[in-house]
Structure 1
Amino acid sequence: MVAGDVSRPAIARQSILLRKRDALSGDDLSDDDLSGDDLSGAACPSSLNNSSTPWEYGLGRLNGPYHHGAAREFSHREHDWPCGLSAAAVCHIVGNSHCASRIAGRAKPGTTIIVQPTDAQNSAETAPAKKQAEEKLPFLLCTGFGVGSLGIATMLNVPTVFFPVLMTTVLGQSAALAGALLTISKLYDILADIAIGVASDRTKSRMGRRRPYLAAGAIIGAASLVMVFIPPAITGWALTAYMAVALIIYSTGYSLFAVPYVAMAGEMTDGYHERTRLLSFRTFFIAIGQLLAAAGMAALVDWGGGGAQGYALLGAASGTIVFTTMMLSFIGTRNARKVEWVEAKGPRPPRMEQVKTIIGNTPFMQLMGAKTFLYLAISIISTTKLLFLLNVLKVGYEGLVHLTMSQNIVAMLIVPFWTWAGRKFGKTRSYQAAILILSSLYASYYFTSEGITVLELWIRGAVNGIAASGVTLMGISMLPDVMEFDRKRTGARREGVFSSIYAFMEKVAFAIGPGLMGVLFAVAGFVPSTGGQIVEQSASAVHALYAGIAIIPALLTLTSFMIMTRYRLNEQALADMPEYTAQA
């Protein structure tokens, strides 16, 4: 046990094992069970002048309850030090060793004096942080932050939903090639995420360490969508190479914006529930982004004839949306709290030790495991959905419009409910409930067939919206919590690293999903076409589509739920954690 390792929660729990300390140095002199010591009648100073240090004290008998309840704070200028106690006096001092020595000099031998330097003394940023945690972020700041997720949702969903269809129904390429190209770009993205996360952690600029990347991501991301969906008139290996390069540029733009953007949420506020409120704006704009990316883009493609012209409209429109919304977020977060890079206190541990501290962050690993299975399910169903609607339900692009509109309208409207549920029932339980709803919905697609009505599509979309809103909000609002958990364990601020790992797991899932389904469709004999034509598929290909829309996603989301049943980090657990103190 090191100096300063006695915390307020220890006093609140009425610990009976204390350490006698030298009040000047804070050195640990001995371990001693003081329950039998006679500390009665301890003398206390009547006042302490020439100091503005706040003090904490706890009064009571060791092995017994406190006479005056939990520890409380007071200023020496307003209160005299309590004296004449018939029970033991435990003076829990928040101050420097000079002030502690003055008290020690006036106390009788045997009085236990515990010196605890806290953030109020040692950290210039603690008081502002606590104040920040109690304040609501301005509405315009939350809106400026949230609007960026509209661009992220557009970048994530447009290629995932429409690129396989572009390749197989317009450019005459196989589903396996389309899946392989998406997989390669996502694997590259994994390396980009980590590099960008570490770089943004260490960046120093007048705009803060995150915002320069937002601007770069907006420009590169918008340009990449134009490249992907308005390709030159080439075929064969030239087309394959072109698409590979365009998708790598797309992945770079996505990572440049998304990784620092997610990291910002952990820096803008320290409030446990204020994080959920901030990220509810993100969830709201994600719903709008998904609505535009799926329903809006599907309507554009359909209006353009379903061929190359329709996808050219899609590329121009999606690029414009991405650039506009991401730049608005860059501008809208200019007044957000900026947190500079902080190394862990004490000697810097070896790189492998740093990796071990991340792996040892159990709540983070559990959250990432659950998110990976969840993202894998979403990537598979996103890759399959449009092909399923076109080839099995035979509702065309109009069916995707109905499904997506109902899903995202409900998702936007339900955000306040999930914000309330997270506060009322806890983030973990709310997250589990949303996952179960999503899993049940995915399983129900196994029982759908040609002839489905528009009303059924709207009902399914609405249920999906309820679940997706909860999954999105609760999942992302728990990420800053595990970042705080890490900071309290290690003393380091490495939000960018955790954000990059979060994005890394997302990319792994979205790399595996399209590649897996591309192989499955090819093995099942899915027949590609050109010019937007829809051809009759074999029974085995239809079975593969059912597996991709229902069976596999339902099992994956159920696995995600099971992982989250082991998650234990909550508001009280974070509040009870002491701040990190470097070992001497």
Structure 2
Amino acid sequence: MSPTGLSARTRIGYGLGSFATGTFGTVPGLLLLYYLTDVLGVGAGLAGLLVFLPKAWDVLLNPWIGSLSDRSTRSRFGPRRSWMLLGAVTMPLCFAAMFAAPGGLEGGPAAAYVAALFLLTASAYACFQVPYVALPAELTADPDERARVMSWRVAFLAVAILLSGAVAPVLAGSTADDRGSAGGYRLMGLVIGAVLALGMLAAVGATAGTRAVVRTTSEPGLRAQLRAARGNAPFFWLLAAFVVQAAATGLMLAGTQYFATYILDRPGATTVLFVCLIVPSLLAMPLWLAVGRRSGKRDAAVAASLCFLVGALGAAAGRHLPDALIYAAVALAGVGYAGMQMLPLAMLGDAIAADAYTSGRRRAGVFTGLWTAGETLGLALGPGLFGLVLSVGGFVSSDADHRVAQPGSALTAIVTGFGVLPAVLLLLSLPLLARYRLTETELTRLRDAADTRPARAIAPYDEESSA
């Protein structure tokens, strides 16, 4: 197995799928909780629970889908792309319906409707996301090439987050004031659903015809695959850190509309906050790629996390700072966000490749199933925690036609959820990230050994020996 370079078509085509993953990772986290509390009149505590529970289902679903894509699917699209195609044709329809609650539906019935559609949407999304994330570990044996593939993916991801984060709130408020209305959210669901479909279908078509370069056989069952994943120390520590950081990101996403509306007193500032977050992340992408090559992906990921942490602390002081300094703090968080997305994904590909080199088994699907389940759980925990913080702070829910004055405790809760808690979570993630010890040198050794000996004869990776 020699390092294999990928064509620009494959790199770019793979990255196009991030228009879907980035958009779906952004819009529900940004608007769904607000849609429930300020358009449908659902209580903040219940709304936070409803945003969390359907995605928690993916913790069970994603590993199963990953296992099936590893071992049981046969089609002309290949084991990964057939599942991606299934998600591409079902998920956008469910997403659009989720933001199209029937007229007059409020409170409990509205909550039940949104929860059911969110469950279907999350399930369809898992069909696409799990095999999509598994592809890079199988397309190339070169760790640097995987990093380049991830840089394309995260660049498209950042563009998708920027566009969806800026456009979705505008669409949601297009038929009323800029706080949004039921009709505006319905329009937003249709437009964003079309974007999701285009991104997914583009990724399926552009990567068609590629072949896995890592020679493996499929693992016989899900239980055996889960045991293997549990025994992969680099994957375990990386996943733990990523889940905690995803929860921090989810908190900031869920709090953006509230922060703009009640702290900055400018509901339209949601778009400005997103520009401040995403534009610096696009500019910082080459920086983190270069730092990762020079000092190693793990150390670069720690540095990126510290940038995000400092930016979150700046946002935590939002009630006492001028708007310009708040935007600067969010921009610093954006610089860190780029590295927090790109580097762990490249490290994930390395951990999966190391497992393939040492075991000779095809288990990328279950690894990425666990990874996407963890990411989904973390992103769902964010809005759930934010809803809980709002509830404790005495936030008063309303419908789309009435904006109520919030007590001081609710304003404190908004700032806490948007800045303080994300900073605390980032701090907790750093010791977990430090336990990831799979270096590029060790990965190259495993790859070279797999070239000359049967996979099962290769000594398994020992993290203590390379610490």
Q: Which residue of 2 aligns with 1:557?
A: 426
Distance change in 2, residues 1:248/1:520 (3 Å): same
Alignment of 1:272-311 (within 5 A): 272-305=143-176, 306-311=180-185
Q: Which residue of 1 aligns with 2:242?
A: 371
Whether 1:332 aligns to 2:201 is no
If you compute each CA radius of gyration, which structure gives the higher value, 1 or 2?
1
Whether 1:316 aligns to 2:195 is no
Q: Which residue of 1 aligns with 2:464?
A: none
1:292-348 Cα shifts (integer Å, max 9, x gaps): 22111112223332211221221111101101111111111113224686136xxx7
The letter of the residue matching 2:415 is: Y
Q: Which residue of 2 aligns with 1:141?
A: 10
Q: 2:132 aligns with which of 261, 265, 289?
A: 261
Alignment of 1:465-476 (within 5 A): 465-476=334-345
Distance change in 2, residues 1:343/1:171 (3 Å): closer
Distance change in 2, residues 1:324/1:357 (3 Å): closer
Alignment of 1:65-214 (within 5 A): 129-130=1-2, 133=3, 135-202=4-71, 203-214=73-84
Q: How far 1:452 moved relative to its partner?
A: 3.5
Distance change in 2, residues 1:318/1:241 (3 Å): same
Q: State the distance in 1 between where 2:362 and 2:147 align.
A: 20
Tell me, yes or no, if the aligned pair for 1:153 and 1:289 is still in contact at 8 Å. yes
Q: Which residue of 1 aligns with 2:387?
A: 518
Q: Which residue of 2 aligns with 1:37?
A: none
SS in 1 for 2:102: coil
Q: How far 1:406 moved relative to its partner?
A: 2.8
Q: How far 1:269 moved relative to its partner?
A: 0.8
Q: Which residue of 1 aligns with 2:461?
A: none
The letter of the residue matching 2:283 is: L
Distance change in 2, residues 1:319/1:353 (3 Å): closer
The letter of the residue matching 1:408 is: I
Moved more, 442-451 or 208-217: 442-451
- Long gaps (5+) in structure 2: 458-467
Distance change in 2, residues 1:353/1:297 (3 Å): closer
1:527-576 Cα shifts (integer Å, max 9, x gaps): 00112533221122122112211221101101112222232111111122
Q: Which residue of 1 aligns with 2:306?
A: 436
1:178-235 Cα shifts (integer Å, max 9, x gaps): 1111111012122221121111111222221111122211122211121111111233
Q: Please, what is the CA RMSD of the aligned residues?
A: 2.1
TM-score w.r.t. the length of structure 1 is 0.73
Alignment of 1:228-243 (within 5 A): 228-233=98-103, 234-243=105-114
Q: Which residue of 2 aligns with 1:357?
A: 228
Q: State the distance in 1 between where 2:404 and 2:40 align.
A: 15
Tell me, yes or no, if the aligned pair for 1:434 and 1:470 is still in contact at 8 Å. yes
Whether 1:252 aligns to 2:105 is no
Q: How far 1:434 moved relative to its partner?
A: 0.2
Tell me, yes or no, if the aligned pair for 1:200 and 1:210 is still in contact at 8 Å. yes
Tell me, yes or no, if the aligned pair for 1:201 and 1:494 is still in contact at 8 Å. yes
Tell me, yes or no, if the aligned pair for 2:395 and 2:407 is still in contact at 8 Å. yes
Whether 1:342 aligns to 2:217 is yes
Tell me, yes or no, if the aligned pair for 2:312 and 2:329 is still in contact at 8 Å. no
SS in 2 for 1:467: helix
Tell me, yes or no, if the aligned pair for 1:150 and 1:289 is still in contact at 8 Å. yes
The letter of the residue matching 2:89 is: I
Alignment of 1:402-441 (within 5 A): 402-441=272-311
Q: 2:413 aligns with which of 531, 539, 544?
A: 544
SS in 1 for 2:78: coil
Q: How far 1:139 moved relative to its partner?
A: 1.1
Tell me, yes or no, if the aligned pair for 2:33 and 2:47 is still in contact at 8 Å. yes
Q: How far 1:279 moved relative to its partner?
A: 0.9
Distance change in 2, residues 1:188/1:201 (3 Å): same
1:253-297 Cα shifts (integer Å, max 9, x gaps): 210111100001111111110000011111011111111221111
Distance change in 2, residues 1:450/1:218 (3 Å): farther
The letter of the residue matching 1:149 is: S
Q: State the distance in 1 between where 2:36 and 2:307 align.
A: 33
Moved more, 402-411 or 142-151: 402-411
Moved more, 267-276 or 303-312: 303-312
The letter of the residue matching 1:438 is: F
Q: Which residue of 2 aligns with 1:507?
A: 376
SS in 1 for 2:56: helix
Alignment of 1:47-58 (within 5 A): none
The structure with the greater share of residues assigned to helix is: 2
Q: Which residue of 2 aligns with 1:95?
A: none
Q: State the distance in 1 between where 2:321 and 2:308 align.
A: 23
Q: State the distance in 1 between where 2:350 and 2:91 align.
A: 29
The letter of the residue matching 1:335 is: G
Q: How far 1:410 moved relative to its partner?
A: 2.3
Q: 2:317 aligns with which of 440, 447, 450?
A: 447
Tell me, yes or no, if the aligned pair for 2:40 and 2:107 is still in contact at 8 Å. no
- Long gaps (5+) in structure 1: 1-128
Q: State the distance in 1 between where 2:399 and 2:115 align.
A: 20
Distance change in 2, residues 1:160/1:351 (3 Å): closer
SS in 2 for 1:209: helix
Identity percentage of aligned residues: 30
Q: State the distance in 2 between where 1:352 and 1:136 align.
A: 34
Tell me, yes or no, if the aligned pair for 1:392 and 1:450 is still in contact at 8 Å. no
Tell me, yes or no, if the aligned pair for 1:226 and 1:316 is still in contact at 8 Å. yes
SS in 2 for 1:303: coil
Q: State the distance in 2 between where 1:316 and 1:343 align.
A: 39
Q: State the distance in 2 between where 1:290 and 1:533 align.
A: 29
Q: State the distance in 2 between where 1:469 and 1:575 align.
A: 26
Q: State the distance in 2 between where 1:570 and 1:220 align.
A: 39
Q: Which residue of 2 aligns with 1:59?
A: none
The structure with the greater share of residues assigned to strand is: 1
Q: State the distance in 2 between where 1:451 and 1:481 align.
A: 42
- Counting matched residue pairs gives 447
Tell me, yes or no, if the aligned pair for 1:393 and 1:452 is still in contact at 8 Å. no
The letter of the residue matching 1:342 is: T
